[in-house]
A and B are shown apart, each in its own frame.
Chain A
Amino acid sequence: MELITPDFGLIFWQILVFGILFFLLAKFAWKPIIQSLHEREESIDQAIKLSEETKKEMAELKAGNEQLLVSARADRDALIKQAKEAADAMISQAKLDAQTAANQEIEKARVAFEQEKVAAVASIRKEAASLSLDLAEKVLKSQLKDKAAQEKLVSEWIADVTLK
């Protein structure tokens, strides 16, 4: 029975000691401990969060860079294609122009040649006519030098005429 009868003195001391203990520990131990545990956890939390955010940003940046690169590549390709097309068009245009210019030249030359040829043929004909006339004249002149010959010829012609 003595065991379960609370002792007055011990109750008194327990209240006193526990009270003082609580007051001193709460003020000088638990407050700074809990406060700094809290702060430390906060700072660790923040550091982790910050690093995660940075990682995310880095990833975003990387993705952005890649996108930029891809679009730049596409731009370049498009530009090259355009330039090539323009060049091709220019070359083909130039070819076409050259062809037409050459064709015109050829045509002109042909026309001129044709004219030259006609003129040459005409002049050759004229020459040949006058030459043959000259020749005929010379032949006639030489054959009709003597009178006898002339008369013979006239007589032949007259004979011919008469016979008819």
Chain B
Amino acid sequence: MSGKSIFKKVYFSNIILGLFISLFSFSAWANEPAAAEAAEHAPQQEEKFDAGKMILHHIADEHEWHFFTIGHFHATLPLPCIVYTESAGLQVFSSANFKNEHHEEVPYQGLKLEHGKIHAENGETVYDISITKNVASLLLSAVLLLSIFIGIGKTYKENPHRAPKGIQSLFEPIIIFVRDEIAKNNIGEKHYRRFMPYLLTVFFFIWFNNMLGLIPGGANVTGNIAVTAVLAIIAFFVTNLNGKATYWTHVFAMPGVPKWMLFIMTPVEIVGVFMKPFSLMVRLFANMTAGHIILLSLVSLIFIFENAALGIAVVPFSLFMNVIELIVAFIQAFIFTMLVSTYIGSAIEEHHH
């Protein structure tokens, strides 16, 4: 594949992405003043519903899995806290210890939970590797992925020449789609097989976690910057460790460009090397978080205006947004995989000119 068409593709998909991001970020931004306003009024009226706080609480990570609250009943699943401090060493305990019987936050063994973060009361650094809501959801998705795809893998191994059946026929077109439309098109016939396991894992990991996040009560895993950052860093290493001579000459000494231009081009290209995975990180994070914010904002409207009749307008619209989010869940997985494969494709491409 020629470089021109890669650029065209990236360019085109960037336009779509730009539209998506700006659409979502606008909604998220538009929501902020309302949240700030609600926060201002919060201390005066205890009962007043605070949409901003509720939304931020929902999209953030937490040490327990909160499902719903009815009156004074809190349906929560306490999760294990795994904490390392220099003075106390490794501690493993239930997150329920941070709450007393009145559901108020209390310190436990010199540690206190503040705004979803564990701090030491004596001020020392806390290494918190607790199984938080996101980690629990992550593990759940991993179990789901493993049981589904290893099961499918077995079926393929047993009868490789048969037509697919059952769950196998649900995922086969998607696997073939990833292979033919994403990997083969962008990486090329010669090298694509080497990257298939990585691309498939990324694709299904993002898709499954996006979908799990849309279930009410689900965690916002792919809308968490830590998760997308790790995915982006892995993409960075996969791309650059496979970079061929052509790729590096394009970064450090773009051929066919006047020498003096290189003083401008090379720094831009080097920034580009880091910007590509950075954009991957932000794109996935922003899209998924924004989607959650929109859905929660729509539902919050009913509580802000304290009018159930508003549900007539809000429910169909949030249903519509939910369907959009289901599509976005797939599109984001596709775009992440697609862009990673274009980066890999441009890194391993040889004899360009």
* Chain B CB within 8 A of A162 CB: no
Query: Do B200 and A10 touch (CB < 8 A)?
Result: no
Query: Do A36 and B127 touch (CB < 8 A)?
Result: no
Tell me, rounded to whole Å, the shortest Cβ–Cβ distance linking A106 to chain B: 95
Of the listed stretches A24-32, A49-57, A123-131, name the one at the interface; the rest are far from the partner chain.
Answer: A24-32
Residues of B201-246 whose CB lies within 8 A of A? 201, 204-205, 224-227, 229-231, 234
Query: Do B156 and A37 touch (CB < 8 A)?
Result: yes
Which residues in A have their C-beta under 8 angstroms from that of B59? 3
Closest residue on chain B to residue A34 by CB atoms: B196
Query: Do B150 and A3 touch (CB < 8 A)?
Result: no
Query: Do B153 and A30 touch (CB < 8 A)?
Result: yes
* Chain A CB within 8 A of B176 CB: yes
* Chain B CB within 8 A of A159 CB: no
Task: Knowing A3-B60, A20-B142 are in contact, say whether A14-B226 is a contact too (CB < 8 A).
Answer: yes
Tell me which of A12, A24, A29 has the highest count of chain B C-beta atoms within 10 A of its own C-beta.
Answer: A29
Q: Which of A8, A25, A31 contacts B146 (CB 8 A)?
A: A25
Once bound together, how far apart are the Cα atoms of A105 and B7, in whole Å? 112
**Tally of chain A residues near chain B (CB < 8 A):** 35
Query: Do B135 and A8 touch (CB < 8 A)?
Result: no
Which residues in B have their C-beta under 8 angstroms from that of A30? 149, 153, 196-197, 200-201
Closest residue on chain A to residue B83 by CB atoms: A9
Query: Do A17 and B138 touch (CB < 8 A)?
Result: yes
Query: Do B225 and A32 touch (CB < 8 A)?
Result: no
Tell me, rounded to whole Å, the shortest Cβ–Cβ distance linking B238 to chain A: 11
Tell me, rounded to whole Å, the shortest Cβ–Cβ distance linking B20 to chain A: 18
Q: Which of A13, A29, A33 contacts B138 (CB 8 A)?
A: A13
* Chain A CB within 8 A of B160 CB: yes
Closest residue on chain B to residue A20 by CB atoms: B142
Contact count band on B = 35 or more
Tell me, rounded to whole Å, the shortest Cβ–Cβ distance linking B153 to chain A: 4
Query: Do A43 and B145 touch (CB < 8 A)?
Result: no
Which residues in B have their C-beta under 8 angstroms from that of A15? 230
* Chain B CB within 8 A of A4 CB: yes
Query: Do A24 and B146 touch (CB < 8 A)?
Result: yes
Q: Which of B127, B146, B160, B226 contacts A10 (CB 8 A)?
A: B226
* Chain A CB within 8 A of B93 CB: no
* Chain A CB within 8 A of B161 CB: yes
Query: Do A2 and B115 touch (CB < 8 A)?
Result: yes
* Chain A CB within 8 A of B181 CB: no
Q: Besides the contacts A10-B135, A11-B230, A22-B198, what 5 more A-B pairs have beta carbons closer than 8 Å?
A: A9-B129, A13-B131, A26-B198, A29-B153, A37-B172
Measured CB to CB, the residues of B under 8 A from A are: 56, 59-61, 82, 115-116, 127-132, 134-135, 138-139, 142, 145-146, 149-150, 152-154, 156-157, 160-161, 172, 175-176, 179, 193, 196-198, 200-201, 204-205, 224-227, 229-231, 234, 285, 289
Measured CB to CB, the residues of A under 8 A from B are: 2-15, 17-18, 20-22, 24-26, 28-37, 39-40, 43
CB-based closest 9 A-B pairs: A36-B160, A26-B197, A29-B149, A10-B226, A6-B226, A29-B153, A36-B156, A14-B230, A32-B157
